[in-house]
Structure 1
Amino acid sequence: MALFAKRCKYVAIAMAVMLAGCSTSTYSSWEQPLIAVPLQPTIQQQIQLARIDQLLGRSDLNDETRSQIYYERGLLHDGIGLRDLARLDFNQSLSLYPAQPDIFNILGVYFTQSAHFDAAYEAFDSALELDVSHPFAQRNRGIALYYGGRFDLAKQDLLAHYQQDPNDPYRAIWLYMVELESEPDKAKQSLQNRFDRAEREDWGWNIAGMLLGGESEQQLLDGIVTNSETNEQMAERLTESYFYMAKRYQHNNQYAEAVQLYKLALAGNVYEFVEHRFATLELNRLLASLQGEEDTIGGVGDEL
């Protein structure tokens, strides 16, 4: 009977996750959750892509110039969500001019998204060897180490990255995410201490405040509606907020809520934000974990 009850529990969780069904939490009872108009490729981006395609057809370009053009087209493809095309462009650029830390950095992010962590570490190491002061490679390596389960090394990277700018809320938040895994008893107090010391001029500190319980999710989202000056800004802030809200629900084993929020983090098409980049990875890992638990229970039941 106990095994049957446990099996039913996981079936219920899996169904809730897959169908994003009803929940008792405040936000998930909304019939229409708050979303911005999803971002679309701009006319300027499309014109730039057309011009670059024309440039690449020329035969008088040297390798360095052609490499730069491939890189710029890769950034454009990445910005509108065409990541496979972007990866091809970045690889083409590297084949012509290998010493490009920015490309190694973004390829490392792509490897992290696809859970190829060893390749990600190598890419970030290459970026830092070429430019030890690269503004994002150390952070992104720390995030890759976090997703790869190497929490102590992840903390080293993310702590060093935080110390370079203690007033950046996202540095503090990612460090908090790692500390939740490595030092769960101290993580919240550490974030509170960093919150108290910061100047908190950046909007992202509102997310840190929500994680600390200083304001509710509803207050955070209401503030986005009230203070966003453009649809683009609203989409960006919602992407960030939904992602970190999902992380909190997932940490508390509230899987159906987490899945809904990860989907909402993807809804704005803010492709360049790390929160959008890793929402799909989080969804895939969460669904695979739940499916694995259900398969394990199903196997035991079959043996009985």
Structure 2
Amino acid sequence: MDSLNTVSRICLLLFLSCLLGACTSSQRATESASQMGNLLLAEPVPMSPRSQLAIARYNHILAQAPLSNEERAELIYQRGMLYDSVGLSALAQFDFDQAIKLKPDMAEAYNSLGIHYTQQMEFILAYEAFDSSLDINPDYEFAFLNRGIALYYGGRPDLAINDFSEFKQLDERDPYRVIWQYIAQREVNEADALIALADSRRDLDPNNWAISLVDLYLGKITENQLLNSLLEGVSNQRQLTDRLCEAYFYLGKYNSALGHQGIAANYFKLAISTNVFEFVEHRYARLELDLLREEAREQKRVQ
């Protein structure tokens, strides 16, 4: 009888332990779901057959046609842009470098090369490339954005603010320009950054969905409200995938600033999974992941 009671007690304890474990797992899953909201999974952009054929045509022309250095540089640059659009970044970077050697005054090639250096965290080379782009063409507006991004990731947000401000002034209705300026300003003075963001909010295009991202950073809407609004105004799958790439990157930045590094990493991974290779948000989502991993390693060393 005693041995039977002992067995019964052991069985009861095992049952309660399993039940409590299941409850804990369920609670963790619920908490994770509430933190990440109702996520939409993007359909990754497939490699475009049109882009592949265009690359083949460029290869044929470059191999067969008699071309001047300037003509060859332009074709090589265009091929590099196509390589970039399908995720062949090493080939793209090689083409941009070759284009510059053939045509040293090609501002757009310096700009594209600088983006690749930024992704590789070769910041001095990136600054030099963007400086060259703007020396050649002072009105090349995206060089201001990209040099600002390089300065931001290179740990010089005070200088990045100047470039982002210049870029924003060229189109003050664009929410993305306002967001990047805020991201850099937040590193210098968060209170001032929020005031500037609220001021800029009044001039934004109300028909641009990304105004919701600004409202998220201002605390006017919640993360879940933003996630639930991502389908509004979307008319096709590619448009949705593009939007999700952007949204998940900025949600990653939002959570990273709050110290929610695990959630931030998941959002950056979701941005990468869209395969929208040419978007700024896709390019720097992987860099953000690398920085999060480096931060986690540093914390372990300190502990």
TM-score using structure 2 length: 0.86
Q: Partners in 1 of 2:184 and 2:206 — Cα distance?
A: 21
Q: Aligned equivalents of 1:122 and 1:215: distance in 2?
A: 40
Identity %: 36
What count of residue pairs does the alignment treat as equivalent? Answer: 276
Counting only pairs closer than 5 Å after superposition, residues 218-229 of structure 1 correspond to structure 2 as: 218-229=224-235
Following superposition, the deviation at residue 203 of structure 1 comes to 2.2
Letter of the 1:175 partner, please give it.
Q
Cα distance, 1:149 vs structure 2: 1.1
- Is 1:274 matched with 2:293? no
**Which blocks of at least 5 consecutive residues in structure 1 are unaligned?**
1-20, 298-304
Which amino acid in 2 is paired with 1:98?
A: P
Once residues 111 and 122 of structure 2 are traced to their aligned partners in structure 1, the CA distance between those partners, rounded to angstroms, is 14
1:48–1:27 Cα change, 3 Å: farther
Q: Which of these residues, 140, 158, 166, is aligned with residue 160 of structure 1?
A: 166
For 1:57 and 1:281, locate their aligned partners in 2 and report how far apart those are by CA, in whole Å.
35
1:70–1:190: structure 2 CA closer, same or farther, 3 Å change rule? Answer: same
Q: Return the alpha-carbon distance in structure 1 between the equivalents of residues 232 and 210 of structure 2.
A: 15
The question of whether the paired residues in 1 share the 8 Å contact of 2:234 and 2:240 is answered with yes
Select the residue among 187, 197, 200 that pairs with 1:181.
187
Task: Give runs of aligned pairs for residues 124-203 of structure 1, distance below 5 A.
Answer: 124-203=130-209
TM-score normalised by L of structure 1 = 0.86
**Structure 2: stretches of 5+ with no match in the other structure:** 1-27
What is the CA–CA distance in structure 2 between the aligned matches of 1:23 and 1:281, rounded to whole Å? 29
1:26 Cα deviation after fit: 4.3
SS at match of 1:53: helix
Q: For 1:253, which of 241, 259, 279 is the aligned residue?
A: 259
1:30-87 Cα offsets, whole Å, 9 max, x none, are: 6x83122100122211111111111111152222211111111101000011100101
Return the alpha-carbon distance in structure 2 between the equivalents of residues 101 and 139 of structure 1: 14
After TM superposition, the structure 1 stretch with the greater mean CA deviation from structure 2, 215-224 or 228-237, is 215-224
The residue number in structure 1 matching 2:299 is 293
Match of 1:24 in 2: 31
Shift of 1:161: 1.5
> For 2:144 and 2:212, how far apart are their aligned partners in 1?
24
Q: Which residue of 2 aligns with 1:14?
A: none
Which residue is equivalent to 2:61?
Answer: 55
Determine helix, strand or coil for the equivalent of 1:281.
helix
Answer whether contact 1:169 1:200 (CA < 8 A) is retained.
Answer: no
Conserved? CA contact 2:36–2:263, under 8 Å: no
Aligned-residue RMSD, C-alpha: 1.8
Where in structure 1 do 4 or more consecutive aligned residues deviate above 6 Å?
A: none
The 8 Å contact of residues 152 and 182 in structure 1, kept in 2 or not, is answered as yes
Report the alpha carbon displacement of residue 269 of structure 1 after superposing the two structures with TM.
0.5
- Out of 33, 48, 52, the residue aligned to residue 46 of structure 1 is 52
AA aligned to 1:119 is L
Q: Counterpart in 2 of 1:3? A: none
| Partner residue, 2:4 | none
Higher relative contact order (CA 8 A, sep 6+): 1
Cα distance 1:97–1:119, how it changes in 2: closer, same or farther (>3 A)?
A: same
